[in-house]
């Protein structure tokens, strides 16, 4: 399990989890662009059972107070685990299919609750997918 | 078309299954054989949402899978049969007889299991069931993704290819 809870004065507002080094790479990019990687917790699920993934996410939610989970693929085992957690905790929000634009919008939305920020960031992330060329 | 892959994966429906194998094999029919999932509407909905729209998924228990296997085998769509544990696949193979190969895709660490490959951990009883399948003529290999080498069961059990 890799984790990076950052060293900032504020607690992280979300957990980012995905395949391989996806989450770490994405949060590293957030840090490089705006220096706010400490708002995000990175989890890697490599080599873990579904129960381990779910347990680890639950532990980090409890430890950090984060209320948002970002995952990569809708079909991923992290998303499946997160959906089980959200079912038990309606105050949490899951955003699947996260991209860099989503996370950047999220970390800058500090004037609203994390769950509101997540919903708004998901819309920004969708809009960031563009196709250029014929 | 019939069934292109019989896979054991404790993560059930996830990225390696629907994308890693599903795309190159053009899988259009996914049979998830799991007694627990088949008995829970919530579990079925959870996994149904993880499947792309061009892939039909069916949730069945082992007994139903044995009964309906002849239908799966003649379905015109390329199919994949998935179980979450060795015991379910063992029962399925014993009940169907026509299954010639089994893919070990992901059986992760749990108390009582020992590491064989990075993604394969087995209890002594699970090892025995796999040996029994192979002795009955079923080819058992470990291969997490299509681009990886298919590791034959004897090599898996030696744990020599970590």
pLDDT at site B131: 97
Structure confidence at residue B66 (pLDDT): 98
Q: Rounded distance, CA B10 to CA A18, Å? A: 17
pLDDT band at A64 (very low <50, low <70, confident <90, very high): very high
Give pLDDT, residue B40.
97
Residue of A nearest to B107 (CA): A49
pLDDT, tens only, A76-130: 999 999 999 999 999 999 999 999 999 999 999 999 999 999 999 999 999 999 9
Interface test with chain B among A18, A80, A82, A97, by most B beta carbons within 10 Å: A80
Average the pLDDT over B77-100 and give the result.
Answer: 97
- Say yes or no to pLDDT of A6 above 50: no
Model confidence at B122, in pLDDT bands (50, 70, 90)?
Answer: very high
Q: Which residue has the tokens 């299509």?
A: B146
Rg from Cα positions in chain B: 15
pLDDT value for B136: 95
CB spacing of B10 vs A50 below 8 angstroms: yes
Kindly report the nearest CA distance between residue B50 and chain A, in angstroms. 4
DSSP classification of residue A82: H
- How far, CA to CA in Å, does A94 sit from each of A15, A114, A121, B55? 10, 11, 12, 24
Confidence of residue B160 (pLDDT cuts 50, 70, 90): low
> Which helix (H) or strand (E) is B156 found in, with range?
helix B153-158
Beta bridge partners of residue B99, listed in sequence order: none
Q: What is the DSSP letter of B112?
A: T
The answer to whether residue B23 scores a pLDDT higher than 60 is yes
Name the residue with tokens 């399990």: A1
What value does the mean pLDDT of chain A take? 90
Chain A residue numbers with beta carbons less than 8 Å from the beta carbon of B108 are 47-49, 52
What pLDDT is stored for residue A8 in this prediction?
A: 39
Tell whether the model's pLDDT for residue B11 goes beyond 80: yes
The pairing of strands B79-83 and B3-9 is parallel
Interval B103-112 mean pLDDT? 94
User: Which chain B residue lies closest to A83 (C-alpha atoms)?
Assistant: B46
Q: What is the pLDDT of residue A121?
A: 97
What digits encode the pLDDT tens for the residues A18-62?
Answer: 999 999 999 999 999 999 999 999 998 888 889 999 999 999 999
> What value does the mean pLDDT take over residues B112-130?
96
Contact A49 B119 (CB under 8 A): no
Q: What is the pLDDT of residue A10?
A: 66
ipTM of the complex: 0.78
Best to test chain A binding among B9, B10, B11, B18 (most A CBs inside 10 Å): B11
Q: Is the model more confident about B31 or about A1?
A: B31
Say what percent of chain B tops pLDDT 90. 93
């Amino acid at each position: 399990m890799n984790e990076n809870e950052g060293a900032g004065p504020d607690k992280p507002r979300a957990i980012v989890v995905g395949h391989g080094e996806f989450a770490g790479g994405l949060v590293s990019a957030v840090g490089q662009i705006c220096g706010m990687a400490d708002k995000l917790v990175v989890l890697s699920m490599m080599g873990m059972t579904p129960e381990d993934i779910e347990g680890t996410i639950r532990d980090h939610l409890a430890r950090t107070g984060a209320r948002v989970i970002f995952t990569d693929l809708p079909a991923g085992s992290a998303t499946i685990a997160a959906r089980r957690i959200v079912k038990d905790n309606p105050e949490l929000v899951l955003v699947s299919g996260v991209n860099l634009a989503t996370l950047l919008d999220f970390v800058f939305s500090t004037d609203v609750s994390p769950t509101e920020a997540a919903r708004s960031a998901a819309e920004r992330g969708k809009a960031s997918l563009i196709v250029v060329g014929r | 078309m019939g069934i292109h892959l019989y896979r054991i994966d404790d993560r059930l429906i996830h990225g390696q299954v629907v994308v890693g194998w599903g795309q190159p094999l053009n899988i259009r029919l996914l049979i998830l054989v799991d007694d627990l999932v088949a008995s829970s509407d919530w579990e079925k909905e959870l996994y149904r949402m993880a499947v792309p729209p061009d892939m039909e998924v069916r949730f069945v228990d082992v007994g139903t899978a044995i009964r309906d296997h002849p239908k799966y085998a003649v379905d015109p769509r390329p199919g994949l049969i998935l179980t979450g544990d060795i015991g379910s696949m063992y029962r399925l193979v014993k009940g169907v007889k026509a299954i010639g190969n089994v893919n070990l895709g992901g059986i992760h660490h749990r108390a009582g299991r020992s590491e064989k490959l990075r993604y394969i951990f087995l209890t002594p009883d699970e090892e025995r069931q796999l040996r029994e399948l192979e002795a009955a003529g079923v080819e058992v290999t470990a291969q997490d993704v299509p681009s990886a080498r298919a590791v034959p069961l004897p090599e898996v059990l030696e744990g020599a290819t970590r």
